[in-house]
Amino acid sequence: MAEFHIIGKTSLQGEIPVRGAKNSALKAIAAAPLFARPFSIKNVPAIEDVSRMTDLVEDLGVQTAMEGERILSLDGSTIKGFALKKEIAERLRASIVLTGPLLARQKKVSSPYPGGCVIGRRPIDIFIEGFRSLGAKVKVSKRGFEAQAAKLTGTRFTFRKISVTATETLMMAASLAHGKTVLINAALEPEIQHLAKFLNGSGAHIKGAGTPVIEITGTGGKLLKAKAPFVTIPDRVETGSFLVLGALLGNPLTITGCNPVHVEVPIAMLKAAGVPIERGDSSLTVRHPKKILAFNVSTREYPGFPTDLQAPFAVLLTQARGQSTVSETVFDGRLGYIEDLNRMGARITPGDPHRILIDGPSRFRGREIESPDLRAGLAFVIAALTAQGKSVVRNIYQIDRGYEKIEERLQAVGAKITRHET
């Protein structure tokens, strides 16, 4: 078990690089069964979830190798299995995305209920509906599900709820299907559009990714062949979290290797609250203003305000003048961190199960806190960096799942943060 020791209240200056997006790289790994030949993924973040996802595909016979810094190669030609290993799949939600490509390739897939962050109910009913719509026979049990289809057939499928991973999963399964699939009310996240572009460059026929209607003409079982590597897009959650860090402590802080277009709404909110942000093509420079004005946040699917930035923004709002509200509309259990922030000195009160009220500004004092999940874990690190005195952040496995060596990048801009094995 490892923990971070953090001494707060030092201003941060210099450049902090953004790594490749976890939720982009994981989906490219999940695509491996669609490919007849090896392909590589560049800008892969060195994080726990990438290692687990790599273990998961290796267990199915995919050969993987690191070919230099942040380059992962995958060879799906040797794939043999169809059952996701329970112990691994239960550790990350993205494991379920693999079920689409596996079903298309192996004509059969079995999966336990995927794990991941404990942020409320995370059902898989939409995946099951989608597979059935593509012509698969699906058996659901207490342990998970098994799907079989000698051949997947193009379909017209409407998501009754927008889902990022279900959109990716069905889009990939339909890529090898027979005939045309139309996915309606699809998620719009940039990771999906980027994945579709890569698949198209490899022989798939996907139109409309990044819009609510995606049309896929299946290859009729013909496997894909990559002509170029998949280059992971910059992590927009990391970018947004560093924006919060800069707004609280930047003197100034320059975020490099990011794509500002993917964080338009968080940028607009911060600017309206009085945070100065200078925008480059792939960088953002942010400075701590004399005062931050309170504002309201409501999470939405992309291009709205991302749920993954909800906890870091709540930390920011504890330092804003006046009352703010934060409403979580995507997940039903993602506000569980407020007690710990209150122990640090925040004044957060629950409104209803999906809403909190934050009165600010508050003075934070260092405390011992435990990361509840990946995104709230980084929010706690940010809170500790703004607090007077020393904090200890425990359960940092959660943070390592999604952020590559975060302490080293923070140290480089002046943060007093160290990792300790216990």
Binding of ligand EPU by 124 (CB under 6 A): yes
Chain positions 187 to 216 lying near ligand EPU, rule: CB under 6 A, are 187
- Binding to ligand EPU by residue 307, rule CB under 6 A? yes
Residue 374 binding ligand EPU, by CB under 6 A: yes
Rounded least distance, CB 375 to ligand EPU, Å: 5
In the complex, the smallest distance separating the C-beta of residue 344 from ligand EPU, rounded to whole angstroms, is 22
Q: Report which of 401, 406, 410 is spatially closest to residue 374, judged by C-alpha positions.
A: 401
* Residue with tokens 């494991």, as numbered in its chain: 95
Told to check if 341 binds ligand EPU by CB under 6 A, we report no
Q: At closest approach, how far in Å is the CB of 187 from ligand EPU?
A: 6
Is residue 331 a contact residue for ligand EPU (CB under 6 A)?
Answer: yes
Q: Is residue 151 within 8 Å of residue 143, measured between CB atoms?
A: no
Cβ closer to ligand EPU: 23 or 239?
23
165 lies in the binding site for ligand EPU (CB under 6 A): yes
**Residue 21 sits in the site that holds ligand EPU (CB under 6 A):** no
Mind telling me the catalytic residues?
117
Among 68, 69, 121, 142, binds ligand EPU (CB under 6 A): 121
Fill in the per-residue mask, 77 to 116: x = in contact with ligand EPU (CB under 6 A), - = not in contact: ----------------xx----------------------
Minimum CB separation of residue 241 from ligand EPU in Å reads: 11
Residue from 60, 126, 258, 369 in contact with ligand EPU (CB under 6 A): 126
Give the residue carrying structure tokens 């060596």. 405
Decide: is 52 part of the binding site for ligand EPU (CB under 6 A): no
What type of residue sits at position 344?
A: M
- The nearer residue to ligand EPU, 186 or 410, going by C-beta atoms, is 186
Nearer to ligand EPU, 186 or 245 (CB): 186
- Does 142 bind ligand EPU (CB under 6 A)? Our answer is no
CA nearest 203: which of 167, 176, 239? 176
Q: How far is the CB of 360 from ligand EPU (least distance, A)?
A: 25
- Residue 47 within binding range of ligand EPU, rule CB under 6 A: no
- Closer of 374 and 387 to ligand EPU (Cβ): 374
Size of the site for ligand EPU (CB under 6 A): 26
**Is there binding between residue 19 and ligand EPU (CB under 6 A)?**
no
Beta pairing class for 250-256 and 283-286: antiparallel
Residue 23 binds ligand EPU (CB under 6 A): yes
Nearer residue to ligand EPU within complex by CB, 233 or 374:
374
Beta carbon nearer to ligand EPU, 131 or 364: 131
Question: How far, in Å, are 142, 149, 388 from residue 182 at the CA level?
Answer: 31, 19, 54
Q: Is 311 in the site for ligand EPU (CB under 6 A)?
A: no
Residues near ligand EPU (CB under 6 A) are: 22-23, 26, 93-94, 117, 121-127, 161, 163-166, 187, 306-308, 330-331, 374-375
